[in-house]
Amino acid sequence: MKNKLLKSIFAIAFGCAFFVSCKPKDSSDTVDGDAAQKVYVAPGKYDEFYNFVSGGFSGQVSVYGLPSGRLLRVMPVFSEDPQSGYGYSEETKAMLNTSHGYVPWDDQHHLDLSQTNGEVDGRWLFANANNTPRIARIDLKTFKTAEIIELPNCGGNHSSPFITQNTEYIVGASRFSVPADNDDGDVPINTYKKNFKGHLSFVKVGKEGELDLAFQIVTPGVNFDLSHPGKKESHGWFFFSCYNTEQANTLLEVNASKNDKDFIMAVNWKKAEEYIKAGKGKRVPANYVHNTWDEKTQTAKSEIKKEVLILDAAELKDICYMIPCPKSPHGCDIDPTGEYIVGSGKLAALIPVFSFTKLKNAIAKKQFDGNYAGIPVVKYEAALHGEVQKPGLGPLHTEFDGKGNAYTTMFVSSEVVKWSIKDLKVLDRKATYYSPGHLMIPGGNTEKPFGKYLVVYNKITKDRFLPTGPELAQSAQLFDISGDKMKLLLDYPTIGEPHYAQGIPADKIRNNGQLKYYKMADNLHPYVARGEKETKVVREGKKVHVYMTCIRSHFAPDNIEGIRVGDEVYFHVTNLEQDWDVPHGFAIKGANTAELLIMPGETITLKWVPQKKGIFPFYCTDFCSALHQEMQGYVRVSPAGSNVPITYSLGTNLPKE
C-alpha cells in the first residue's frame, strides 16, 4: 500500500513538473494595466536594485537591474570565460585550481550577500560551487571574484554559502555524504551506513573578506539540501535541511523517500566554538586549495592547505539536534525575527513552522524522541509553532517581506503563496510559469527585508518566450508585493539555470567606493609597462616576454619579429587608459585559449605557442574608438632554430617600396 502511495505521489509530481500538465487554476497571463509603467526605467536612469542570480550549470553569476530585468553583467566565478579571458589568462588560471587539479567548470547554485547587524551591506557576494565543493567571494567594488576556498571531506556543496548576521561565518554542507578524505575511500558503495559521513564547514571571514576554514562538524551520512543562520535571539545557531535519512545509496527517488519525515538539523555553532577553545577539536589531514586574487599585482595565487579542525557531532551531544520535518525537505528558512524556522518538504501538502523558543525549551527539558546516529531527535510537536494547511503542492523555498508575511514557492502546483507567520493563514496566491524553485525578496533572508519586489525563478518556461530549439530560456518573474495582493509585473530570461538569488538597493553598492579604473601608480604586476617607453620584447631561451601597452587606438609594439615555432610567447598587455569604461581587448590568430579583456590600468597575460611559421595578426577585440579597426599589429613567426633576431617597433618599421 505504501509503495503504491509513493508511486502515485511521484506520478503527480513528475507529471506536473516535467510536462506542465498541472497548470495553476489562475493561469491567465493578465497583469495590471500599470505593470509596464512600474518596470520602465527611462533612458539614462538607474534601476532601484541590483539582482544577483546564480548561474546554475554555467558556473557563473549574473547581475540584473530591478525592476527593469535588464542584464547588466555576467561575472566569471567557477567557469572559464572566453569573453574576459578568466581562467585563460596567466593571472587568473590559479583561481580555478583545486586539489583535483585545474577544474574549468562548476555548478553554481546559491548566493549570499555580506551583512552587518543583520542587514545587507554591499561589500561582498558569496557563491557556492556544488560539484567540486568550493566557496567564492566576489568583491562588489570591482565585481570580480577575489577568493575561492575549497571544502575538503565533502561530496557536493549545495547547502551553501549562507552567512551569519555579521558575516562571522559562511557555511557549506555535503550534498552527497562520502567517506572523509583521510579515510580509506576504496569501500563498497553499499557500505554507505558504515563508511559515509556528512561534513558541515564553517568558513571564517576576516575584516578584509579573507576566508579561512575554521572548523568542520562531522555528522551522520545524510544529504544536506539548504541552510540558513539564526537571527537575533537565535543568532549562534544554524539550521540545515536533511534528506536521505534512510541512508540509501541507489535509486534515491524511491529509497530516499520511504520515511514519513526527514530532519532539519539545528547546529549550535557558539557551543562548537566553546568546545574548540576547550581543546575538543581534532586536527586531521586534508588537502584543499585556497585561491586568492591580489589587486596590486593583479595576479592570483594558490595555497595548498594540509589539515582541518574536526568536531564530531555524535561525540559532542549538545551541538547538533534533529527536528523532524516532512520528507525530502528543500528550503530551511528563518524569519526576520529569528524566532520561526520554516521547513519545506518537497512532497508535502503543508508547511511546518518551528519555534526557536520552543526548540530551546524542548532541548532543556530533553523532550527527545530517541536519537539519529547519536544525535538527539527533538519531538516534532515540542518544537512546532504550527503548520500552514493546504498552501499548495511541493513547497520549496520561503522568503519574508519584513511585514509579518512569508512567501513560498510551490514547485508542483506552479505558484507562489503568501501567508501570515503569526496565524499561518494563506493570504494570497499567484500562478508562476512554471515549476518555480527559489524566490527572492531583496534582503528577504535578513533581519531587514526590502518588501517591495519579489522575483520567482522558474525551472520550466514553455510558451513564455520565443522558442529556441530543444532548450528554452531560463526564466524569472517579477512581482510587486508592496500591497496586500501580489501583482505580476514582468517576465525576463536569465542565464544558466537560476537557483537562489540576492537583491540589494543599488545605492548600497553604487555609492560604496566602487572602482572605476586601476591607477597606474598602484599597478605592481611584475610585467607591467607603465608607458610606451617601457615596452620591450625579451627572449629567455624558448620563452619570450612581450611587455606591451594599449591605448586608443594602437598597441605598442605593433610589429614583432624573431618569434619561432614552438616558443612560449607571453603577451603582458597593460591598458594605459585612466578613464572609466575604456577596456581594450587582445587576441592573436591561432591562440588556443581566449582573448584578453584588459580594464584601464590593468595588466593581463596571454600565453601563445605558435605551431607554424607565418605572419599572425593581433588586434583589439573591444570596440574602443572610431579607429578601433585600425588597432592591430603583426607577429612574424619563423621556423624553430631560425636565426631571425628579436625586433619590435611602433611606427618605425615602414613599408618598403
Tell me the pLDDT tens digit for each residue of 448-504: 999 999 999 998 988 899 999 999 988 999 999 999 999 999 999 999 899 999 999
Whether 167 shows a pLDDT value over 70: the answer reads: yes
The model's confidence at residue 32, banded by pLDDT at 50, 70 and 90, is low
Helix (H) or strand (E) holding 522: none
Average pLDDT over residues 236-248: 97
pLDDT value, residue 656:
87
Q: Give yes or no on whether 72-221+281-314 and 393-514 have one common fold.
A: yes
Whether 21 shows a pLDDT value over 60: the answer reads: no
Whether 20 shows a pLDDT value over 50: the answer reads: no
Sequence letter at residue 595? E
CA distance 522 to 297: 9
Compute CA distances 223 → 216, 325, 345, whole Å: 16, 14, 14
pTM above 0.75, yes or no: yes
CA distance 306 to 329: 34
Helix (H) or strand (E) holding 382: helix 380-383
Whether 419 shows a pLDDT value over 80: the answer reads: yes
- Whether 389 and 361 have beta carbons less than 8 Å apart is answered as no
- Whether 113 and 504 have beta carbons less than 8 Å apart is answered as yes
Fold classified for 393-514: Methylamine Dehydrogenase; Chain H (2.130.10)
**Grid coordinates given for 249:** 545509496
What is the sign, positive or negative, of the torsion defined by CA atoms of 240, 246, 250, 251?
A: negative
- Whether 436 and 410 have beta carbons less than 8 Å apart is answered as yes
Greatest C-alpha distance within the chain:
98
Backbone angles phi, psi at 181, to 5 degrees: -55, -35
CA distance 7 to 350: 19
CA distance 106 to 100: 13
pLDDT tens, position by position, 355-376: 999 999 999 999 999 999 999 9
Domain range 523-649, CATH class = mainly beta
**Grid coordinates given for 152:** 575538503
The model's confidence at residue 657, banded by pLDDT at 50, 70 and 90, is confident
The model's confidence at residue 27, banded by pLDDT at 50, 70 and 90, is very low
CA 337 from chain center: how many Å? 26
**Grid coordinates given for 196:** 559515509
CA distance 197 to 213: 18
| Cβ count near 65 (within 10 Å) | 17
CA distance 192 to 221: 7
Average pLDDT over residues 185-197: 96
Sequence letter at residue 31? V
pLDDT value, residue 142:
97
The model's confidence at residue 31, banded by pLDDT at 50, 70 and 90, is low
Average pLDDT over residues 77-98: 97
- Whether 226 and 332 have beta carbons less than 8 Å apart is answered as yes
Q: Is 511 left (phi over 0), alpha (psi -120 to 50) or beta?
A: alpha
Identify the bridge partners of residue 584 per DSSP, sorted by sequence position: 598
Backbone angles phi, psi at 140, to 5 degrees: -85, 5
- Whether 427 and 412 have beta carbons less than 8 Å apart is answered as no
Who contacts 175 (Cβ-Cβ below 8 Å, separation ≥6)? 130, 154, 155, 156, 157, 158, 159, 223, 224, 225
DSSP 360: H
pLDDT tens, position by position, 376-403: 999 999 999 999 999 999 999 999 999 9
Sequence letter at residue 44? G
pLDDT value, residue 462:
87
pLDDT value, residue 172:
97
pLDDT value, residue 11:
45
Average pLDDT over residues 157-177: 96
Whether 6 shows a pLDDT value over 50: the answer reads: no
CA distance 523 to 578: 12
Whether 28 shows a pLDDT value over 70: the answer reads: no
Q: Is 252 left (phi over 0), alpha (psi -120 to 50) or beta?
A: alpha
The model's confidence at residue 24, banded by pLDDT at 50, 70 and 90, is low
CATH 3.40.50.720 is the classification of domain 72-221+281-314: no
Please spell the DSSP secondary structure of 457-507, one letter per residue. Answer: EES--TTTS--BTBSPPEEEEEEE-SSSS-EEEEEEEESS----EEEEETH
pLDDT value, residue 13:
46
Over 562-596, what HEC string results?
EEECCCEEEEEEEECCCCCCCCEEEEECCCCCCCE
* Mean pLDDT rounded to a whole number for the chain: 94
Of all residues in the chain, the percent with pLDDT exceeding 70 is 95
Virtual CA dihedral for 580, 121, 146, 216, nearest 10 degrees?
Answer: -170
CA nearest to 506, candidates 141, 64, 116, 47: 47
CA distance 77 to 128: 10
Helix (H, G, I), strand (E, B) or coil at 273: helix
Residue spans of the domains in the chain: they are: 72-221+281-314, 227-270+316-388, 393-514, 523-649
Integer Rg of the chain from CA: 27
Quickly tell me which residue has 555528522 as its cell: 219
pLDDT tens, position by position, 54-83: 999 999 999 999 999 999 999 999 999 999
**Grid coordinates given for 577:** 587608459
Whether 342 shows a pLDDT value over 50: the answer reads: yes
